[in-house]
Structure 1
Amino acid sequence: MNAPVRNTLTPTLSRGEREELSGQGSGQHITLLDGGAEAYPRMLAAIASATRRVHLEVYAFEHAGVGAHFVEALTAAARRGVEVKVIVDGWGSIGESRVLADTLRPAGIKVRVHNPLTSVLLLGRLWRNHRKLLLVDDTVAFLGGINIGDHYAAAEGRPGWADLALELRGGICAQLGTRLNAGASALVAGPVRLLLSGFGGGWRLRARYLAALAQARHEVVLAHAYFLPDRGFVRALTRAARRGVEVHLLLAGRSDVPFARAATMRLYRTLLRGGVHIHEWTESTLHAKAAVVDGQRLLVGSFNLDPLSLVNLETLVEVEDTDVAGQATRWVRRHLEGARPVGLEDCARSGLQRWLLDVVGLAVARFAERAATFIGSRRMRRRS
């Protein structure tokens, strides 16, 4: 994994790397990036090298701070004749989207705000675009859990959010360029499988996780920020553990979403009794959505293991490469070492405390499930 870039966002790539970013390199290249500190400089370098097209699609885009660097790079690309398109989610970028559009459009950049608040209130369009995707010249792509914002890179005295992204170069990027507006897609090139879910298509992404768990023989390490899987997924984890697979979950000890941890903690007793190891990351906000199986297969993207990701627009990249999977395994293990282990004794709270936790957790879980069902049904009615 590349050494983190902590004090600057100025692109510092070598000449060879810049040639590859410009499409002059060849082959299929996969680079694992540790949070915004590693991802942002390379994303900015890719935009700076663009000659034909830039497509940026993120759930949240903060126009200040690191966002200002992206605004500058996108504007410069558009002014030199590059076709630039930016898509942000109306809810994820609430309070930011109008300023962003007003800043980028004068430079000739196409800006789309997906389901802004007005469409939610007036038309009931609740489904979200949760993707985090940058594609440049159909030769280099960045996908993972990282939005555009200062939270994702460390600052003085503050660690960045724990997250991962992949930089892909090669044939998979050319395929992606043809499928950006095609809804659900499954792309394959060499060791890389890239899945784009349409609305309500997250079940296909969930199926890739289940297939990986079913094939696990030695170890599964999973890092997920918003962990609220269905009963079938929980059973898949405990089945793997009971047949001798070491299953480790790195979960959020603190969250940017209110009561999300309470909903997740409802599952702890079942998982622990099933032989699953649980660790809570508290040094910063955990935002990753990743899993590594047997040190050979990596799954990473914007897809959360929760009900809402089953109905939103999401991405998932699956890589079968021991080098990349090994890097991801080491990333998770490093965070596991700094995380707080959770045991059954931690679940044995007093009667009232445990009851309150279960009530809150159950309420949050049921709300997420019913919201996803409602969103999915409205979307289906609009399509019919």
Structure 2
Amino acid sequence: MKSRWIPGNDIRLLENGEAFFPRAFACIANAKREVILETFILFEDKVGLQLHEALIAAARRGVQVDVTIDGFGSPDLSNHFIATLKEAGVRMHVFDPGKRVFGQRLNLLRRMHRKIVVVDGEVAFVGGINYSADHLADFGPEAKQDYSVEIHGPLVAEIHRFTHAALAQGQRYQKQRDWWRWRRQLRTQPHELAHEGDADAMFVVRDNGDHTSDIERHYRIAIRSAKKRIVIANAYFFPGYRLIRELRRAARRGVDVHLILQGEPDMPIVKTAATMLYHLLLGAGVQVHEYCERPFHGKVALMDDEWATVGSSNLDPLSLALNLEANVIIRDRAFNAHLYSRLEHLMRHSCKRITSDEAGELRGWDLVRSFFAFHFTRRYPGWASWLPRHVPRLLPARHDRLDPVYENKR
């Protein structure tokens, strides 16, 4: 799939589960023909059960429903949860769940990390929000701050084609007649949708085949072109050396560069990794803000007054070199301004600005650690290419055991 700018879209920012879940569930409730959903995490909590109910209702009224979950991210769905979906006609697919070794899951690499919904080929959602209650504020101090977008317009057809192709590619182990069924569906998908708004947009993915660095490349192009401001809000920040270099160069040529990173991370190692790069960034004039209200899970950015992106891709080795990811890139002044107002609000009211004095002087072990971190950013994309590059198959979820079945194609 070659990424390209597609005009005429209406794209709406959805902040946190309070905005995302009602819109996604309402569209599923109104689906007439088809629902395709991909997610890294689906938990059997109040959000997962609400989705479960919406999917079953859609399938029972004749809507074709395909749900793909990641076997590592969603390992513990109950027999009842899966069985009732399948009995209603929902087709549940599992991405490479892998085996447990002494009760532990060891297949940490190359996950299906995308979060996509397409309903009737007419509306799509892309972002970073999983189906779990920790994306709602009433979850408490550990509730995540995150974003998604709702898309209407011609870009939806591009996303629709991609989701069908992903299902077709992943299910080639099935009987030949099933493969031809997917081929027919690909041919009958709509090629164009009416213009719904003024936004030019692009759907960009990262995979382990032809698009290994597309999302990072678009980030670097936008950073290199920025003249006024850059705001990157990213949960897991440990990018490659080339992206760090572009941020430093942008700050040195006078661009106002802001990073919003985790101050209260869900995993402490996340903050440790990011802080190893603080001196490198602060010394060039990059402004670092730690979000301290709750765990930050967003993957959004904007450059100048038009360019913005929302998606599933973090700026760390897993997302940039291993996982399957999907982002939407948007050229639209109104969307950019709205996203900027929300991120500026975070910086003003929920973040702590990190200064060079607070970062402290690098000495002893901190100096050694920073040295190795810097050189790791220069080398890890190359190292990643040496890791196993299997192409996992999608298999139906089984309801006669807690772990879905699995199979790898090497």
Could you tell me which of 116, 132, 136 is aligned with 1:133?
Answer: 116
Deviations 1:171-211 (CA, angstroms, capped at 9, x unpaired): 21123222214359xx9986011113332534011111011
Deviations 1:286-343 (CA, angstroms, capped at 9, x unpaired): 0111111112111110011111112221101011001111111111111111200101
Equivalent residue for 1:92?
Answer: 73
Percent identical residues: 34
Any idea what SS the aligned residue of 1:182 has? helix
Any idea what SS the aligned residue of 2:29 has? helix
Equivalent residue for 1:113?
Answer: 94
Q: CA deviation at 1:365?
A: 7.3
Q: Does 1:320 align with 2:320?
A: no
Could you tell me which of 194, 199, 202 is aligned with 2:203?
Answer: 194
| 1-structure distance, mates of 2:57, 2:18 | 22
Contact kept? 2:128, 2:299, Cα under 8 Å: yes
Distance 1:123 1:68, change over 3 A: closer
AA partner of residue 45 (structure 1): A
Q: CA deviation at 1:102?
A: 2.8
Q: Does 1:278 align with 2:320?
A: no
Contact kept? 1:32, 1:328, Cα under 8 Å: yes
| 1-structure distance, mates of 2:142, 2:382 | 35
Contact kept? 1:222, 1:332, Cα under 8 Å: no
Equivalent residue for 2:358?
Answer: 346
Contact kept? 2:66, 2:91, Cα under 8 Å: yes
Q: CA deviation at 1:363?
A: 11
Contact kept? 1:296, 1:322, Cα under 8 Å: yes
| 2-structure distance, mates of 1:32, 1:159 | 22
Any idea what SS the aligned residue of 1:261 has? helix
Q: In terms of mean alpha carbon deviation, does 355-364 or 238-247 score higher?
A: 355-364
Any idea what SS the aligned residue of 1:73 has? helix
Matches within 5 A, 1:45-84: 45-84=26-65
Q: In terms of mean alpha carbon deviation, does 365-374 or 277-286 score higher?
A: 365-374
Q: In terms of mean alpha carbon deviation, does 361-370 or 244-253 score higher?
A: 361-370
Tell me the TM-score normalised to structure 2 length.
0.78
Q: In terms of mean alpha carbon deviation, does 365-374 or 231-240 score higher?
A: 365-374
AA partner of residue 182 (structure 1): A
Distance 1:63 1:124, change over 3 A: closer
AA partner of residue 171 (structure 1): P
Any idea what SS the aligned residue of 1:30 has? strand
Equivalent residue for 2:224?
Answer: 214
Equivalent residue for 2:401?
Answer: none
Q: CA deviation at 1:355?
A: 5.8
Q: Does 1:311 align with 2:322?
A: yes
| 1-structure distance, mates of 2:71, 2:409 | 21
| 1-structure distance, mates of 2:266, 2:366 | 22
Equivalent residue for 2:147?
Answer: 164
Unaligned runs of 5+ in 2: 1-7, 170-191, 393-407
| 2-structure distance, mates of 1:125, 1:267 | 24
Distance 1:150 1:368, change over 3 A: farther
Contact kept? 1:202, 1:314, Cα under 8 Å: no
Contact kept? 1:259, 1:361, Cα under 8 Å: no
Distance 1:318 1:98, change over 3 A: farther
Any idea what SS the aligned residue of 1:191 has? strand
Deviations 1:246-287 (CA, angstroms, capped at 9, x unpaired): 000000012223411111111000000011000000111101
Distance 1:157 1:118, change over 3 A: closer
| 1-structure distance, mates of 2:379, 2:99 | 22
Q: In terms of mean alpha carbon deviation, does 200-209 or 145-154 score higher?
A: 200-209
Tell me the TM-score normalised to structure 1 length.
0.83
Distance 1:280 1:357, change over 3 A: farther
Equivalent residue for 1:14?
Answer: none
Could you tell me which of 327, 344, 350 is aligned with 1:333?
Answer: 344
Could you tell me which of 244, 248, 260 is aligned with 1:250?
Answer: 260
Contact kept? 1:263, 1:364, Cα under 8 Å: no
Contact kept? 1:263, 1:362, Cα under 8 Å: no
AA partner of residue 265 (structure 1): T
Could you tell me which of 43, 65, 68 is aligned with 2:24?
Answer: 43
Deviations 1:61-110 (CA, angstroms, capped at 9, x unpaired): 11211111110000000000000011110111122376642331111100
Could you tell me which of 205, 214, 223 is aligned with 1:204?
Answer: 214
| 1-structure distance, mates of 2:69, 2:379 | 25
Q: CA deviation at 1:373?
A: 3.8
| 2-structure distance, mates of 1:167, 1:259 | 32
Deviations 1:124-160 (CA, angstroms, capped at 9, x unpaired): 7942100001110010111011000111111175474
Equivalent residue for 1:5?
Answer: none
AA partner of residue 231 (structure 2): V
Equivalent residue for 2:127?
Answer: 144
Bigger RCO (CA 8 Å, 6+ sep): 2
| 2-structure distance, mates of 1:99, 1:77 | 18
Could you tell me which of 176, 180, 189 is aligned with 2:159?
Answer: 176
Q: CA deviation at 1:350?
A: 8.1
Q: Alpha carbon RMSD of aligned pairs, Å?
A: 3.2
